[in-house]
Amino acid sequence: MAFLFGKELTREEILKRVGDISQIGGVRLACLADGVERGVRIAEVNTGGGLYYTVLLDRGMDIAWTSYKGISIAWRSATGNLSPFFFEPEGLGWLRGFHGGLMNTCGLTYHGAPCKDESTHPFLEEEELGLHGRASFTPASCVWADGEWQGDQYIFWVQGKVREAIVFGDKLVLHRKIWGRLGENVIYIEDRVRNEGSQDSPFMILYHVNVGYPVLDEGSRLLLPVTKTVPRDKHAEAGKDEWDRFTVPQKGYFEKVYLHYPKTLEDGKSASLLLNEKIQLGIYLKFDVQALPYFTEWKMLGEGEYVLGMEPGNAFPLGRSKERSEGRLQFLKPGEEKRITLEIGVLDTADQIKRFCEYLGV
């Protein structure tokens, strides 16, 4: 049954009360129409429980605006949802279209810092790789947005394919399904990445989950059970004892990045929670630690760029050459497929927060 407006309702009870299920929740397709966003296809999702989010179909099926009961959850950058036609893959050009939003996909054959690395292409010994890869700027194909009753539960989804391919080289396809249940405040992400080429291909993926104000604010805490934490550089080293705590925005702040090795929890997964106790609101991230064994924390407390990145991945974002040399770079054989699941949810009661903290063991 769906839990709506303080009580559980069956399918029959719900349908007696509405002319169409879209009165309560579901998904609909639309298109952005102005400026650098013009032409970008989107799917707007209403869970019926207070959670609203927008899937950018032409931007790797990433998640942009996200709010809960009118409260913004995701940080939004000044770039807007840049059309993929403006993508600049070289160097730091990725940042010109980094809209923030709840989730950006980094990958599929590389992500992280720009670098030079060995090439799998027969015409190149090495290649220049820009920041964070092409997935977030690639339009999805075979898009399907719909919903259906499964017994007394109404399920809705958006799904499609994102392909990264080059003639004579790598050919990876991401099959993505983003779905939810009516009345819940949870986003479920199911990804399958398949090598459709005829040679081994590097495979790197990172889920750049960006939480902003007001969940992120002075006094907020990041709860993340880890076995080890490594500051990325001298800037992070200076604040390593407070990696889980946050202040007000600071002028001239330089990002601090922490490389975490997450603990495996009792259900075989791992998780993190950004908690603002002052407003009793938390955003959690739950992920398959076998598929995503590394967790990067992007702590960015600058003015206007005030955001926490919670980023599980199958490698750290230090650049493909660095990940190769340190033994973290993964490969997919021809025909091989990796499955990844991710869950992003909202906690807004003392009981929900207490139970999730117990789950984390903190």
Where are the chain's structural domains? 2-360
What per-residue confidence (pLDDT) applies to 45?
A: 98
Polymer length of the chain: 362
Query: What is the rounded distance in angstroms from the CA atom of residue 63 to the CA atom of residue 55?
Result: 5
What per-residue confidence (pLDDT) applies to 1?
A: 85
Query: What is the rounded distance in angstroms from the CA atom of residue 308 to the CA atom of residue 114?
Result: 21
Cβ–Cβ < 8 Å for 220, 276: yes
What per-residue confidence (pLDDT) applies to 120?
A: 87
> Strand 126-129 to strand 115-118: parallel, antiparallel, or no bridges (unpaired)?
antiparallel
Query: What is the rounded distance in angstroms from the CA atom of residue 9 to the CA atom of residue 48?
Result: 13
- Whether this prediction's pTM lies above 0.95 is answered by yes
Instruction: Please state, as a whole number, how many other Cβ atoms lie within 10 Å of the Cβ of residue 270.
Output: 25
Structure tokens at 355: 């139970």
277 phi/psi in degrees, rounded to 5: -70, -25
Query: Which of 310, 314, 308 has the alpha carbon at shortest distance from 289?
Result: 314
Classified by CATH at the fold level, domain 2-360 comes out as Beta-galactosidase; Chain A, domain 5 (2.70.98)
The residues, ordered by sequence, that sit 6+ positions from 112 with a Cβ below 8 Å of its Cβ are 106, 131, 132, 204, 206, 315, 316, 317, 318, 319, 320, 322, 323
What are the Cα distances from residue 288, in Å, to 6, 292, 314? 31, 6, 10
- Collapsed DSSP state (helix, strand, coil) of residue 97: helix
What per-residue confidence (pLDDT) applies to 175?
A: 98
Half-sphere exposure for 3 (CA within 13 Å, toward CB): 6
Structure tokens at 270: 């791992």
Backbone conformation region of residue 24, classed left if phi is above 0, alpha if psi is from -120 to 50, else beta: alpha
Cβ–Cβ < 8 Å for 331, 314: no
What per-residue confidence (pLDDT) applies to 181?
A: 97
The residues, ordered by sequence, that sit 6+ positions from 183 with a Cβ below 8 Å of its Cβ are 2, 3, 4, 25, 47, 48, 49
Query: What is the rounded distance in angstroms from the CA atom of residue 272 to the CA atom of residue 344?
Result: 10
DSSP letter string over 306-362? EEEEEEEESS-SS-HHHHHHTT--EEE-TT-EEEEEEEEEEE-SHHHHHHHHHHHT-
Tens-digit pLDDT string for the chain (362 aa): 889 988 999 999 999 999 999 999 999 999 999 999 999 999 999 999 999 999 999 999 999 999 999 999 999 999 999 999 999 999 999 999 999 999 999 999 999 999 999 998 888 889 999 999 999 999 999 999 999 999 999 999 999 999 999 999 999 999 999 999 999 999 999 999 999 999 999 999 999 999 999 999 999 999 999 999 999 999 999 999 999 999 999 999 999 999 999 999 999 999 999 999 999 999 999 999 999 999 999 999 999 999 999 999 999 999 999 999 999 999 999 999 999 999 999 999 999 999 999 999 98
What per-residue confidence (pLDDT) applies to 122?
A: 85
What per-residue confidence (pLDDT) applies to 239?
A: 92
